[in-house]
Structure 1
């Protein structure tokens, strides 16, 4: 039987506006012990995602100020996302292909949840999918030129 993402996703999701600072994003990550936050516009539509890695590589390493707007360092193009009715096996495969550990779940442009590799791994019938995804995610990629 297919299991949908809506059945296992985390529905408590913290979002941040694209106009807020990277310092504010870091504070939300620290307070809630999370590594990524969906970025929304004033209408609440998802426009990107910011990760602790984005903050490190695209701002801190570049000497950016802590008040730099999130919009300047977030991943905005081709943000990988899921829909609540997507099959969990399909989501695990998507995470493996894209080498990501978390997927925002979006419905009608609005973030309604998050699914992580951990969410997949705790489902007994999905253990093989989680192992395969983790193996793919953990495969080293070469340096970008």
Structure 2
């Protein structure tokens, strides 16, 4: 069973992530025959990208970065499996996380079940009438070890 914490709002400074990426959409990811994310993560770990990425920063986390949204949560978007780096890495897909406010959802438990469950809670949270408005710029999963994840969803700052 996963342990889930209450969401909290945090300010994030910009930083770079480099790794391997794919373009996908939720409707493809819900179907095991068309899902690209399991293959992306398999490639990332099999190739040892986290260990061999040049220009890596001191940040020990592994990231799943969501960006390039075509039409909010229902359209195409890009996902980058990677690690934090000091700047863009030539020859690798590199994306800078946008600075700003993020709602952070954290859970601990067996993967991938915990991340799937946590994304369900993220979607439910943003359906609520009091939920802040999502930015759809950069969102990211931050993995700490093999059983802890924090999903960061960019939001518009309120005055």
- State the TM-score, normalized to the length of structure 2: 0.26
Compare relative contact order (CA 8 Å, sep 6+) and give the higher one, 1 or 2: 2
1 or 2, which has the higher helix percentage? 1
Higher strand share: 2
